[in-house]
Amino acid sequence: MTTPAISVRGLIKRFGDVEVLHGIDLDIPQGQVSCLIGPSGSGKSTLLRCMAFLEEATDGLIFINGEPLGYAPGPQGKPVRLPAARIRAVRSQIGMVFQQFNLWPHMTALGNVSEALKTVHGVRKSEAEERAMVQLKKVGLAERAGHYPSQLSGGQQQRVAIARALALEPKIMLFDEPTSSLDPELTGEVLNVMRALAADGMTMVVVSHEIGFAAAVCQQIAFLDNGKLLMTGTPQEIFGKPRHPRLDQFLDTYLDRGAAMLV
C-alpha cells in the first residue's frame, strides 16, 4: 500500500463549546480526485481547512504524505505542536483554492502568481515571472498577466488563484467550493482547468456542490453530514441505489437530482 496523500485520524473540531467535527477518519489516495459533499454547515470547509492547518484541530491528527501536519503524536497519546518551520515545510506540499479567490488586490495576475517564488523562495524576479507565466498559460490567462484582480471576471480570478497555488508545485490541491461564488456561465472555465489538472494526475480534494463534476471527475466521494462522515465510496457506490436516506434527502434538498442520475 502506498501512503495516502492525506490521512485524517480521529479529527475533532470545536468552536468554543460547539463541536462541528465529531471524529473524522479519512484517507485521500494519491493521484486521485476526492470530493467532499454534504449539506451546508455540515463541516466540509472546516475539514478541508484542518487538512491545510488553517484551522487547528481540537483533537486528532493530520498526515500529509505520512508526515504529521501541525501536531505530531505525543508520548502520552496527546498531540504535541510542531515548530512553525516544520509546519510550513509540510504545508508547502499543499495548494489551496478558496471560494472567494483571495487574490491580493494590489498585485497583477503575474504578481499574485510570482509573489511567493520571489518573496519566500528568493527566486530572481525575471525567473519567477517566467515560471508564473507558465502557470498562467496553463489556466489560459497568459494574455491577462498584467491585469489586476479588479480587472478580471470571477472565473478568471479563480483561475489566477489556481495558477498561484500551482506555481509552488504542490503535490496536493485543496478546493473549497471553487465555483460557488461564480455566475453560472463562468463555472465551466474553472471546472475545465480542474479537469485538466485531474487528468495530469494531481491529487485533489474538492468541496463542491457541482454534483455533475463530482460524478464525472472524482474517484472518491465522501458524504459529510452534521460533522460526521456518513459514507465514502466511488461515485457509483455513493449515487447508485440503494442510497443512504440522509444522502437521498440531501440530493433532494440541495442539488440537481438530474445530474446525480447521470452516473
Partner 1 sequence: MSWKLFELLVQASFYTVQISFISITIGLVIGTAVSAASLSPNRALSISGRTFVSFFRGVPLLVQLLLIYNLLPALGINVPSVVAAITGLSLCTAAYQAENLRGGFQSVPRGLLEAADMVGLSSFQQFRRIKAPIALRLALPSLVNEAIMILKASSLVSVVGIVELTRMAQDLAASTYRPIELFSAAGLLYLIINWLIAWGGSVFERSFRWGRP
Ligand X SMILES: Nc1ncnc2c1ncn2[C@@H]1O[C@H](COP(=O)(O)OP(=O)(O)O)[C@@H](O)[C@H]1O
Binding region for Mg ion (CB under 5 A): 45
Please pick, from the candidates 10, 41, 73, 74, the single residue that binds ligand X as defined by CB under 6 A.
41
Task: State in angstroms the smallest separation of the CB of 161 from partner 1.
Answer: 8
CA distance 258 to 111: 41
Please pick, from the candidates 15, 74, 120, 262, the single residue that binds ligand X as defined by CB under 6 A.
15
* Contacts of 185 by beta carbon, 8 Å cutoff, 6+ apart: none
Q: Does 203 bind ligand X (CB under 6 A)?
A: no
Question: Site mask, ligand X, residues 76-95, x = CB under 6 A?
Answer: --------------------
Q: Does 66 bind ligand X (CB under 6 A)?
A: no
Task: State in angstroms the smallest separation of the CB of 180 from Mg ion.
Answer: 8
SS (H, E, C) 20-48: EEEEEEEEECCCCEEEEECCCCCCHHHHH
Residues present in the chain in total:
263
Which residues inside 132-171 make contact with partner 1, applying CB under 8 A?
147-151, 161, 164-165, 168
Cell 491585469 identifies what position? Answer: 147
**H/E run at residue 67:** strand 67-68
Q: Does 43 bind ligand X (CB under 6 A)?
A: yes
Which residue number, 59 or 67, has a Cβ lying nearer to ligand X? 59
Cell 489586476 identifies what position? Answer: 148
Please pick, from the candidates 34, 42, 65, 179, the single residue that binds ligand X as defined by CB under 6 A.
42
Instruction: For residue 259, give the C-alpha cell.
Output: 445530474
| 249 interface partner picked from ligand X, Mg ion, partner 1, none, CB below 5 to 8 A per type | none
Instruction: For residue 256, give the C-alpha cell.
Output: 440537481
What is the DSSP-derived secondary structure letter of residue 73? -
| 15 interface partner picked from ligand X, Mg ion, partner 1, none, CB below 5 to 8 A per type | ligand X
Task: State in angstroms the smallest separation of the CB of 175 from ligand X.
Answer: 12
CA distance 233 to 126: 45
Main-chain phi, psi angles of 166, to 5 degrees: -70, -25
Burial of 181 per CB tally in 10 Å (0-12, 13-18, 19+): middle
Residues that bind partner 1 (CB under 8 A): 52, 54, 88, 91-92, 94-96, 98, 100, 102-106, 108, 115-116, 119-121, 147-151, 161, 164-165, 168
Residues that bind ligand X (CB under 6 A): 15, 20, 38, 40-46
